[in-house]
């Protein structure tokens, strides 16, 4: 696998704040690489250093063999950028925005083709101001692809969108990868990263605290499966605790069992049945990327 991005010991300070604090990673050709973490973790700062839009305090970066600070102009011909805080004049039309962006590059994809791809063909003559939130984000994808880039950066593409619009964006991120491009996806939605990304760097307070495939990250946390239910008589907990490979925590009548094996689920139900124990709200779930963040940092990702 060929790295298209390599980052070594990247640090970015704002005054005394180390917003990015010694970060190293590589992104390989044609993967969707996620950078996830809570607000203020340093995600945007990191990617904007890769895009040549912010100047690192120290460390080295190569994107497509170029050094973003020194080769910024050349690099921006080859990459696509969707900014977290992208803004346009209200009275610019969709088609005009694409034409404007196309004029920045030595080569560009025809506007009609891009609008069709993001489902905005019928909005070509509409003003930016009149687009819905989801449509504005679709346009921002089209603009990021206008120069047919090899590497595309999406920063909080789906923030503020409803679930349906979010799913539409996910489809577009996947088709960007299918078109042969490498995608860097910045998000604070763990579920989004879990579903879309081949590998994920979890960032907290300027540092990468974990980096792997979502499946490996999830496997890395204890307990595998989680069984939750409520009982009327919490006396049953002592018997359940004796099941091999079961870690039980009880809070009043709510019982949580962590285990690595579905056999424990069968055992739990057997014991509940044998003891005529009334139980309700019985669920079995697998941990998600969200739980990985909690397990590593001890914090919930959402404030
Ligand atoms: N231009 C700047 N000047 C000073 N401090 C900054 C600047 N940009 C970012 N910061 C600070 O650096 C830290 C990281 O910010 P950054 O925008 O990279 O975080 P983020 O992970 O993208 O957060 P979010 O999820 O809210 O977008 C924050 O504490 C932020 O306040
Ligand atoms: Mg950000």
Q: What is the pLDDT of residues 22-56, one digit of tens each?
A: 999 999 999 999 999 999 999 999 999 999 999 99
- Cα(298)–Cα(303) distance, integer angstroms: 13
* One fold for 3-219 and 225-286: no
Q: 12 CB less than 6 Å from ligand 1?
A: no
- The preferred substitution site among 41, 48, 302 for testing ligand 1, maximizing ligand atoms within 8 Å of CB, is 41
Q: Which atom of ligand 1 is nearest to the CA of 15?
A: 4
Domain extent listing, the chain: 3-219, 225-286
Q: Report the separation in Å between the CA atom of 131 and the middle of ligand 2, taken as the mean of its atom positions.
A: 23
Percent of the chain with pLDDT over 70: 98
Question: What is the C-alpha to C-alpha distance for residues 189 and 156, in angstroms, rounded to an integer?
Answer: 9
Minimum-distance ligand 1 atom for the alpha carbon of 38: 25
Q: Point out the ligand 1 atom lying closest to the alpha carbon of residue 54.
A: 1
pLDDT computed for residue 302 by the predictor = 63
pLDDT in tens, 73-108: 999 999 999 887 767 777 899 999 999 999 989 889
Does 187 sit in the ligand 1 pocket, CB within 6 Å?
Answer: no
- CA 213 → CA 4, 32, 170, 287, distances in Å? 18, 11, 18, 14
Atom 25 of ligand 1: nearest residue by CA position: 39
- pTM, two decimals, is 0.86
Three-class secondary structure assignment of 253-298:
CEEEEEECCHHHHHHHHHHHHHCCCCEEEEEEECCCHHHHHHHHHC
What is the chain written as a DSSP string? --EEEEEEEEEEEETTEEEEEEEEEEEETT-EEEEE-STTSSHHHHHHHHTTSS--SEEEEEETTB-TTTTHHHHHHHEEEE-TT----TT-BHHHHHHHHHTTSSS---HHHHHHHTT-GGGTTSBGGGS-HHHHHHHHHHHHTTT--SEEEEESTTTT--HHHHHHHHHHHHHHHHTT-EEEEEES-HHHHHHH-SEEEEEETTEEEEEE-HHHHHHTSTTBEEEEEEES-GGGHHHHHTSTT-EEEEETTEEEEEES-HHHHHHHHHHHHHTT--EEEEEEE---HHHHHHHHHSS-S--
Domain 3-219 classified CATH 3.40.50.300?
yes
* pLDDT at position 223: 61
Tens digit of each residue's pLDDT (9 = 90 or more) over 102-144: 998 988 999 999 999 888 999 999 999 899 888 898 899 999 9
Residue nearest (by alpha carbon) to ligand 1 atom 2: 14
Mutate to test the pocket of ligand 1, among 10, 38, 43 (most ligand atoms within 8 A of CB): 43
CA distances from 225 to 107, 202, 254, 292 (A): 51, 22, 17, 13
Dist CA 126 CA 156 (whole Å): 24
Instruction: Inform me whether the pLDDT recorded for 198 exceeds 80.
Output: yes
Name the CATH architecture for the domain at 225-286: 2-Layer Sandwich (3.30)
Give residues with Cβ within 8 angstroms of 19, minimum separation 6.
12, 13, 42, 45, 206
pLDDT for 174 beyond 80: yes
Q: State mean pLDDT over 49-75.
A: 95
Q: Are strands 247-251 and 254-259 parallel, antiparallel or unpaired?
A: antiparallel
Q: Ligand 2 centre and the CA of 44: distance in Å?
A: 4
For the Cβ of 84 lying below 6 angstroms from any atom of ligand 1, the answer is yes
Q: Can you name the residues that pair with 11 across neighbouring β-strands?
A: 21, 58
CA of 112 to the centre of ligand 1 (A): 36
Contacts (Cβ under 8 Å, ≥6 apart) of 282? 227, 228, 229
């Amino acid at each position: 696998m060929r790295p298209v991005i390599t980052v070594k010991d990247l640090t970015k300070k704002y005054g005394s704040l180390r917003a990015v604090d010694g970060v190293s990673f590589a992104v390989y050709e044609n993967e969707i690489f996620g950078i996830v973490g809570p607000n203020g973790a340093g995600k945007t700062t990191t990617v904007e250093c890769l895009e040549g839009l912010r100047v690192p305090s120290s460390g080295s970066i190569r994107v497509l063999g170029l050094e973003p600070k020194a080769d910024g102009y050349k690099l921006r011909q080859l990459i696509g950028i969707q900014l977290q805080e992208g803004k346009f004049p209200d009275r610019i039309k969709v088609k005009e925005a694409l034409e404007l962006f196309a004029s920045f590059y030595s080569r560009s994809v025809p506007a009609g083709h891009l609008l069709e791809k993001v489902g905005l063909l019928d909005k070509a003559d509409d003003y930016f101001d009149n687009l819905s939130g989801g449509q504005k984000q679709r346009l921002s994808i089209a603009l990021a692809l206008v120069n047919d880039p090899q590497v595309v950066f999406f920063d909080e593409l789906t923030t503020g969108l409803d679930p349906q619009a979010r799913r539409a964006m996910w489809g577009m991120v996947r088709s960007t990868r299918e078109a042969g491009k490498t995608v860097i996806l910045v998000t604070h939605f763990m579920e989004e990263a879990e579903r879309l990304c081949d590998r994920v760097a979890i960032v907290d307070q300027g540092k990468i605290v974990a980096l792997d495939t979502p499946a490996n990250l999830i496997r890395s946390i204890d307990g595998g499966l989680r069984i939750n239910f409520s009982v009327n008589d919490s006396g049953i907990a002592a018997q359940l605790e004796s099941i091999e490979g079961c870690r039980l925590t009880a809070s009043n009548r709510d019982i949580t069992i962590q285990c690595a094996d579905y056999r424990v689920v069968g055992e739990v139900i057997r014991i509940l049945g044998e003891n005529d124990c009334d139980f309700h709200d019985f669920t079995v779930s697998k941990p998600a990327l969200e739980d990985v963040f909690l397990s590593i940092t001890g914090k919930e990702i959402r404030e």
